[in-house]
Every structure is written in structure tokens, then in C-alpha cells.
Structure 1
Amino acid sequence: MAVAPLSAWPWENLGFYKYLLYGPLVGKIVYSRMQEESPDETWFLYILIISMLRGIIYLLWNVYSNMLFLTRNRRIIQKGIDFKQIDTEWDWDNFIILQALMASMAYYMFPFFENLPLWNTKGFIALFILHVTVTEPLYYFIHRHFHKNHFLFTNYHSFHHSSSVPQATTAGNGTFLEHVVFSTVTAVPILGASVMGYASTSMIYAYVFVFDFLRCLGHCNAEIIPHKLFKTLPFLRYILYTPTYHSLHHTEMDTNFCLFMPLFDALGNTLNSKSWQLHEEITSSSGNKGRVPDFVFLAHVVDVTSSMHVPCFLRSMASLPFQTRLFLLPCWPVAFVIMLMMWAWSKTFLVSFYFLRGRLHQTWAVPRYGFQYFLPFARDGINKQIEEAILRADRIGVKNESLNGGGTLFVNKHPNLRVRVVHGNTLTAAVILNEIPKDVKEVFLTGATSKLGRAIALYLCQRKVRVMMLTLSTERFQNIQKEAPVECQNYLVQVTKYQAAQNCKTWIVGKWITPREQSWAPSGTHFHQFVVPPILHFRRDCTYGDLAAMRLPDDVEGLGSCEYTMDRGVVHACHAGGVVHSLEGWTHHEVGALDVDKIDLVWKAALKHGIRPVSSL
């Protein structure tokens, strides 16, 4: 399909290699250093530093916006950020590259950028006057024209408005032509002050950073400015816009066109009449609990590296299945310190869902550190954190909470809980069992006496499948065997060594196994697994199943992050189990030992609600 002239970016097809466009600037700096008398080095070094810091400003604002445990009660548009918006805004920083190239050309076009002083007070005064008298009204006029002119809006500006939930990165998301125009308009104060001879290095830094800060403020989708400030100083409402004010421009696009100063909307009669009322409503009710989720999931990450795979860090990375990325290694110490702080402050965070108009919406997510569950001295503290999470959910009126664990301790301790506690592992067992071919007659099961292992063994023996249960505890094996119907008990067999499975091609792994232990499996074995982290794919002559997972319905809204190594829209089966429990409106707790008789019931309920097994896609 043909596109309008100058709507696409010249480097659109370069992908990550677009950052090589900074290469000439780096080359110029290196060359200038070699030519000691050349003054070019400083200017181009400034451009690179400013470009890097600008990117950090936008990313930090995005981090804040997506820390929904902080901003949940101040959010303006309640929808979540979905994969479509993340993909649309993937190249949001194109405008930073564009302005870096424009600044490079300006150095050669305007000689007054050479040998700038560090400070000049007159420059700041000129900068402010030019911004208010030239940039603000000119931006307002052009921005409004981009909306009123059907051709300009359809071919150029509609791309910016395709993002339904404003974020800091939305501010930079636009077409090439509109960014060329707006960049020229916003450069007027710097150029003007420079022509007057008042330019300084600090003036350029200050204007660019304040400009970006205010752009991010307006797009952050979380109200920050208290309405009492405007009541005390009413004139300020015409001097500085708010996130609420700008969000109305995104939802009702024929109003609030200003850059930062609503004064020009008032003069142009385009000021939305709901601006101040909505602002007051959001800030005055920020202490309230707001929308109560129908379902929350107590999540955790596996290690420090995977803790960075969350929307409140780099949402673009979180929107892809987790893998270790080298560029994140410098961030590892920071993530480790944050982990220690979370541990010290005993904070447990939740993934939350609610149901609206028959659709499932994801709302917020922050991790726990999963490896702590394996530290004996941390067990009591972790149980306390889980308990506090359940009570917190109960206080705010959540209907269901899914736990990746037993949960019996907390239900017995708090018998009057309104929230339903669900470990979700019934559906995990169902996923694993439904992956096993119907004609299989024998399986080898590790982690056989665990909660999931027990349920899988009991279910399979009732299907007349011989289950070799790897366990050293004869007592625990016998207790499980006694639970099976008398006519099926002989299908459960205790084994104590991996060698016992050297002729069995169906392994169900519930306990992490080493490559050496895998070597006992015969060629052609398929490893089903419910162990985190997944076992290593060591055998090339064998196949490996993924962790038990299911795909959420296609009409889920606001889903913008991947669970660990899962694909988009795929969640761990225990997570999906909590969703099913809530959708069905079941009132019982799902804690402790799995009820084998409910495995098929939960499986059919999941399929009924459009939650599909990944293996069937």
C-alpha cells in the first residue's frame, strides 16, 4: 500500500542498526581529537551526551508510568498497555536521532554555536520569551492544523494517536514529516537566543531536558500535579498543563492542542471544559482504592536477571519471551540491590486481572524473587509475605487470588477470608496429562511425591498406565499408593534409580535433572516437565516439552508482557487455573493436595472460556 510522502522514516528498515547513524558524530569527535586545534569535538560530544540523556529521561518516565503499584490510583486511562501499542511505539526514539542530525547540520550553518560559554543569564531570559511568544503559539497553530486538515491527520498525525494509552514514549511516536516540522518549531528559542549572542551550553542542556521532562509529564497517564495547587494559584492552570489535561487531547482529539501552556487553548477556544474537573476528581480520589481487580496472581521471577523482564523496567523487552541479553549485564548490580531492598522490606507484589464487558483485562504486575523459596532460613519470611498479600487482596475486595504454592496454611489461619485462594495447580496437572498420548502404557515420573507428582500418578494409574515413581521414601510412596483404587494400585511402582527408566520413552519431570541423569533415557524419549527453571535440552535425540502453559483468549485486553520464556498471550498453567476459577465463580479454595477428580472438570472449564492448550495451536 502506498504511503504519503515523508510519512515513513528514512531509516525505517534499518532496525537496531539505525543507531549507526550516530557513527559520523563519533567519527567527527575522534577526528577532532586527532586534530588538536579543531573545536568541533565539543559540540558533537554535547550532541551525543544530550541524545543519551534524553533517551534515559523518556525511559525513566516509562518506568514510573508502568510502576502500577505506585500509580494505580492516579491513572487517568485505566486500560493496560498491550502488545499492539508496544510494537507501534517500538521506534519511538527516531526523533532523537533526527534532532541529533539536525543539530549537527546547525553547527555548520550557524557559526555562533562555536565556543559557547558555560552560562549566560540573558540567554535564559531570551529563551523563555521566545518559547512563550513564538514556540507555544506556533506549535498550537500547527498542531491544530494537523488535526483539522483531513489529509495531514490521516497520513501523518493519526499514527501518533494510534496509541490508546499515553506513555512517555508516545510523545516521541510520530511520522517523519511531523517531527521535522515540530522539531523546527521547538528549535526556535535556541536559535533565536544564539542569533542574539546569548547562547550558552547550560541554556541548551536546560531547554532540551526541561522540554523532554514536560513532554513526558503530559504523556505519563498518571496525575502528579495536585489540584490544590491550582486552587491556591489559579493562574497556573493556564501556564502548565497536566497529564489529565493532555490525556483529554488523546481521547477527545478536537480539544487541548497546546504544547505546555493551556493559555493558548483558552485563547483559541479549544480548551476542554472537563479539564479541571477531571483533574480534581483524579487527584482528590487518589487515596481511594479505585477499581478492585477480580483476580490477582502472586508472581515471582526465577533469578536476578529475569527480574528485569518486567514492564516497569523495559516494556519492549518484557513484551518478548525472556532470554538473557548481554546489554542488561551492567544493570545486574542495580537489580541485585533492589532485590535486597524488597527482601528487607518484605514486599510481595501481584499480577492483577479484572473482568469488564465479558473481557479479561490485565492491570498490573511486579515480581518476587523465586530462588528465595529454596532458602530454608527464608521460609518463614516468605510465608509471611504471601500471607500479607492474601490479606491485602482480601481487604480491597479481590474475589480470587492464585498462589503458586499450597496455601492451606493461610486458609486455616484465616477462616473468614472473602478472597478465594487458588494454587492453580489442578490445571497444571491437566495440561501435563492431556499432553501425554492416549496410547502410552508406561511413564517415568520424577518429583513423584510432590503435590503435582502425586496427582499425576493417581490420575494415570486410573487410566491403566504404569507409573514408575522415582522416590527414596517408601512411606510417602505407600501413602500415595493407598489413595488409588484397589484395582489400580499395582500400576504404581516405586523406583529409586534413573536406570529403571532406561527403556521408558515418556518421562514426566517434576524435579530438576542433570544431563547425566537424562542420559539414562532411551533415544526418542519425550520429556514432559513441570519444573522451574526448565531442564537443559541436552539430548539431541530426544524431545522436550515446554513448561505447562495455556494461551489466554484472543479478546484479552491490556496484555503487554510475556511470562518468563512464554510466548505472547501464553501464561503458566497455574496462572490460568486461577483465571478459570474466577471466571467460573467457584467459591471453594483450591489449596493443599490436588483433588484428582476435579482435573477433568477444570480442564473442560478452561476450554469453555477459550483458554487453550499451547500444544494444540
Structure 2
Amino acid sequence: MPLYDYVYSTMDKSSDQLYETSLRGAEETPGLVHLTHMTDLQSVYHLRIGFASVASRPSATGAMWWYMWVLWPVAWLSMALAWAYGSSAFVVERIKLGKLRMQTWAVPRYNFQYGLSWERESINGLIERAILDADARGVKVLSLGLLNQAKQLNGGGELFRHRYPKLRVRLVDGSGLATAVVLRSIPRDAKQVLLHAGPSKVACATAAALCERGVQVVMNPNKEYDMLKSQIADSKASYLERRSDNHHTPQVWLVDSIDDEEQKMAPKGAVFVPISQFPIKKIRKDCTYLSTPAMKIPETMQ
């Protein structure tokens, strides 16, 4: 009997290792990894360690607000533990799309931590370890999601490309795909848009594409205007304008972040098109708010 084998040391020495290996199962190598991070404190409930009843609903569902308040101390504690002991990215989900195997990894950091200048080195270290881990596993593509691709953090991954020129895994930030989605979201009959955004890749690419189409792009008079104009062909540069007090305010606004007072400056019936990963706070009932750049999930995805 196994009990007596254990007591009298007659058990095969490889039994424990075999048991642990069988529990882990065969480790599959994904072809693509999406590296994201935690957002707010409640985002922990949408992970595997969270609650299925909460994860099955949108994070902004009002019916669960009391539930969230009751569990707020638990969420705060999980954040503190992740901040203190989270030393590597972890797998959030595994996805199959035909023959393609994908995984989502999460860096154990929250939105507010990315805004702390003294945390940038630590966060970059976590991202770097995830990239090297993916490269060692043979992952073909790693996409940097949300704030992991922030320009002030690592320049959309350029920091790691220069640091490790022999990386086999391809680093992408999804800006090209996001630009295509934003362009399709803009009403086809729009002849003029207001660009209210920082110097992100998506903002620059969207503005350049609109100028190529012959759409007037109006910007606030700041340093981003000069930088963006240098990236547009001279024949199309006339479609990029600085915003002035007597300038007609466009109906279509392309924004990454905007406060309440700035939203009130938009004309009635304006269309707000987000060009970042985070949604816009809806304060105007007489305006239209589109969703953040997104695409429909194929039915074949598992």
C-alpha cells in the first residue's frame, strides 16, 4: 500500500515529481501574448481568483455597486500584496482561435501606479522580465497593452528593442490596428474634426490619415501641432490647422482624455470619439459618445 511504502521508504523516488508534473500538465507555448495590467481596485474581481458572478458583468454595472463597497477592503488588500510581493506577470486567460494559441498576461500593477515617477523603473523591470520570459518560451508576438506601452514609460517598447536587439519575439503596441478602428468610427460625411489629444502614435497616425483624405484637422495651439505637421506631406499640410477663438468648432471630437469643462465647450450634437484605451466620462446628454477602439470577437474564439 502507498502508506506503507511511504513509512518504510520503499516508495519510488520519482513519484512526487511525477505527481506534480501531472498536475501541471503539458505547458503549451502561445504564439501571441498580450501583456496588460490591473486597472482600478475592482478589476481584481475579473481575474480567475475573483468572483465569476462579478466577472460575468461589465465593470460599470450599477446593480453590483453595494457588493463592490462591501468587498473594497479585500480589493485594497490585494493591491497592497501585489505591490509588495508581485515580482512577475501572471497568466490571466488562455485563448484559442483556430490553430492560434494566445494568452493574456497581467503585470501586478494598477493604473495609479503608472503615474508615479518613482515606480517607472520597477514597472519597466516587470515588463522586461515578461518580455524575456516570452522570448525564452518561443512566443512569436508580444503586444504591450494599456499603459505598458506609454511613451513616458518605455516609448511604446522602443526601450526594450534597443536594449535587446536580438530579441526573437516581436514587440507590438497595436497602434496601427487602433488607428484603423478609430478611422472607421469617424462619420463618413465628416469634413472637419477636432483633435484633442497628446502626441501618441494613434493620434499622429489618425491625423495624418485624415489629412490624406482631405479632412480638416483642427488642433489646440500647442507644441504637438508643430511636431505633427512635420510628419504630414507638404501637399496635405494645409489640412492641419491651429484652433483659434473665431474658428468654427467641429462636430467630431477625437479625444484621449478630456475634463468636464472642456466637454462643455463642444457644440450640441457633437460626437466624441475616444482614441485611447480608456473611455470618456459621459456628462453631456445632447452629445454622442462612441466606445473605445475595439473589434468584435470571432465566434470561433474559445
- Taking structure 1 as the reference length, what is the TM-score of the superposition? 0.42
The match for 1:426 among 176, 184, 187 is 176
Choose which of 506, 513, 536 in structure 1 pairs with 2:252. Answer: 506
Q: Quick one: distance in 2 between partners of 1:229 and 1:435?
A: 66
1:461-540 map, 5 Å: 461-470=211-220, 472-473=222-223, 476-495=224-243, 503-510=249-256, 512-540=257-285
Distance 1:232 1:544, change over 3 A: same
**C-alpha deviations, 1:393-421, integer Å up to 9, x for none?**
11222221110210110111111112111
Match of 2:296 among 551, 554, 563: 551
SS at match of 2:71: helix
Q: Could you tell me how far apart the structure 2 residues matched to 1:376 and 1:514 are?
A: 23
Report the equivalent of 2:42.
Answer: 305
Q: Say which of 442, 446, 451 aligns to 2:201.
A: 451
User: Does the 8 Å contact 1:299/1:349 carry over to 2?
Assistant: no
Amino acid at match of 1:311: R
Within 5 Å, give how 1:97-176 maps onto structure 2. Answer: none
1:483–1:364 Cα change, 3 Å = closer
Deviation at 1:289, TM superposition (A): 7.2
Find the partner of 2:56 among 297, 306, 319: 319
The structural deviation recorded for 1:308 is: 2.3
**Separation in 1, partners of 2:4, 2:19:** 14
What is the CA–CA distance in structure 1 between the aligned matches of 2:293 and 2:4, rounded to whole Å? 53
Task: Determine the C-alpha separation between the residues in 2 that align with 1:312 and 1:365.
Answer: 14
Residue 397 of structure 1 aligns to which amino acid in structure 2?
G
Deviations 1:566-586 (A, max 9, x none): xxxxxxxxxxxxxxxxxxxxx
Q: Indicate the residue corresponding to 1:336 in structure 2.
A: 76
CA offsets, 1:281-327, max 9 Å, x none? Answer: 56335678711111111112321123322232112321222126221
| 2:32–2:103 CA contact under 8 A, matched in 1 | no
Q: What SS does the corresponding residue of 2:285 show, helix, strand or coil?
A: coil
RMSD over aligned Cα atoms: 2.9
Structure 2 CA distance for aligned equivalents of residues 299 and 444 of structure 1: 29
What percent of counterpart residues are identical? Answer: 36
Distance between the aligned counterparts of 2:242 and 2:124, measured in 1?
32
Q: Deviations over 1:41-62 (max 9, x none)?
A: xxxxxxxxxxxxxxxxxxxxxx
Unaligned 5+ runs, structure 1: 1-227, 235-278, 558-617
Instruction: Give SS of 1:467's match.
Output: strand
Greater Rg by CA? 1
Q: Does the 8 Å contact 2:143/2:171 carry over to 1?
A: yes
Letter in 2 for 1:379: R
**How many equivalent residue pairs?**
281
Query: Does the CA contact (< 8 Å) of 1:509 and 1:530 recur in 2?
Result: yes
What is the TM-score of this pair, normalised by structure 2? Answer: 0.82
Letter in 1 for 2:38: V
What does residue 412 of structure 1 align with? 162
- Rate the CA distance shift 1:543–1:478 in 2: closer, same or farther, 3 A: same
The letter of the residue matching 1:349 is F
State how far apart, in whole Å, the 2-side matches of 1:479 and 1:381 are. 30
AA partner of residue 82 (structure 2): M
Larger relative helix fraction: 1
Work out the CA distance in 2 between the residues paired with 1:302 and 1:445.
Answer: 26
Question: Is the 8 Å Cα contact of residues 509 and 529 (structure 1) preserved in structure 2?
Answer: yes
Partner of 1:401: 142
Unaligned runs of 5+ in 2: 9-15, 150-155
